[in-house]
Each structure stands twice: as C-alpha cells, then as structure tokens.
Amino acid sequence: MVCGFVGAGGASVGQSGAVAVRSRCEPGSRVTVGGWRRARGALAMAKEVSFDELDGSTLRIGIVRSRWNAEMIEAMRKDVRQTLLDSKVPEANIVEVSVPGSWELPLAARYMSITQKLDAIIVLGVLVKGETTHFEAIADSVCRGLMDLQMSSIVPVVLGVLTCLSEEQAAARSTGSKSHAADWAMTAIEMGLLRASQMGKTAGSSAAAKLVGFGMLSDVTGVPTPKEAPEPSKKIGF
C-alpha cells in the first residue's frame, strides 16, 4: 500500500514499505527510514534547475512587471535584466513595460506578444495572501491567463509571479537567497531559442513570427503578423 508519511520537517511524501517513520495512512503503519531519506533527497534536488551556457544574442525578450510591492519587483527585475545581459541578450532587445498590479499582467503581456516581435516574455509580480479570498482569485486567474496566452500566441511566457503566504516569504523569494529571478531569465532564453529552432527560423525574425507550431504556416491563433500589426502612430500604450 502507498502511504503518505511525515518526517521531522513535516513534509508528506508517498512511500510504501514498513519500519521507522510515522505514517499518515493509518494508525500504527510504518515506512522505511531509507525510503524517507531518498524521498527527502529527491525533494531537495527538485528545487534546483540547471542550465547550459546559453547565447541570447539573437533574442528579443519582453519583461512585464507589476508596480504593486514595488521594492520586491525591482529586485527581481534587476536580477532578470542582469542575467539576460550576461547571456548576451542585447540591451536594446530587452523591452519593458509596467502595470499597476498583477491582475493587469496577462493583458499587458498579450499586447507585447502582438506588437513587439518577441521571442519570450517574463512576467513579474508579487501576490501576498491576506484575510480574504482575493489572493486565490487573482493568483488563479493570472496563471491561467498567462498559460492561455503562451499556448495561443506561441510566444513562451515565463511565470515570475510570486504567490506567498506572508511578507516574509515574499521578501525571501524576491530579494533573498531563494530568489529565482536569474532562473526565470535563463528559462526565457532557453525557450526563446527552442521556439526559433523548432520553427526553423532565426530568433527574432519576422518570418519566424508568422509560423505556428513546428514550421506550419497558419493564422489560426488570431494574432496579427508583423505586416498586420497597427502602425506605430495608431498604437495605444505600446
């Protein structure tokens, strides 16, 4: 039988067997200490992502950020920008825009995907749970909107929106050692390069922007191609 068990840290993991650590499955059931140690090691490893050395010199990357919790956002933005620059993304090819809060992030990212010919978009926000269900409503809607955007536009969207239970958690994950801002930047570069390679075109090219999926011409997404994009004088906000 597969059981959920609890170690010293209180984490619950699936494991079958007998002997040593208290199980949540049923009174008196036990699981192996060795199994817990292996599972704990696997959990620790899962928190780390490794990247090869990436060359982003051909990429054009967008950054959309919320101004709510501005100090934390700014710390993440700086880390993202520096990592992009360190990976050879030209400074002129880093396009930024800010919006009031996290609720506005998906729409702003949508605008950028249409008008800026981007290879990837990094979205930055900080949500901290309060006393009402507002937190859950915003977090779920933003994540769903960003996933829908990248699937419909075929522009990779990197989720850099923190959903934390306290100000302390948010601070540690934006300005402290637990920040993943550099990883988000590397993910954007890797996915931008993947997009270009699978489409058989150079990253950032107008021809690549017209392709959907794996090199198939299509307009099924409803996203205007560069030729169909509005003239600069007619754009609003971007």
> Average pLDDT for residues 2-28, to the nearest whole number?
43
Task: Give domain limits for the chain.
Answer: 3-46, 61-198
In angstroms, the CA 192 to CA 60 distance is 8
Token look-up 């729409």 returns 107
Which residues carry out catalysis?
Answer: 134
Out of 48-52, 109-113, 183-187, least confident range: 48-52
| Nearest alpha carbon to residue 101 among 138, 66, 145 | 66
What dotted CATH number matches 61-198?
3.40.50.960
**Structure tokens given for 147:** 């996933």
pLDDT tens across 190-203, in order? 999 999 999 886 65
pLDDT tier for residue 159 given thresholds of 50, 70 and 90: very high
Assign residue 110 a region (left: φ > 0; alpha: ψ between -120 and 50; beta: otherwise): alpha
pTM of the shown model: 0.67
pLDDT by residue (tens digit) across 63-111? 999 999 999 999 999 999 999 999 999 999 999 999 999 999 999 999 9
Strand partners, 159: 123
pLDDT level of residue 224 (50, 70, 90 thresholds):
very low
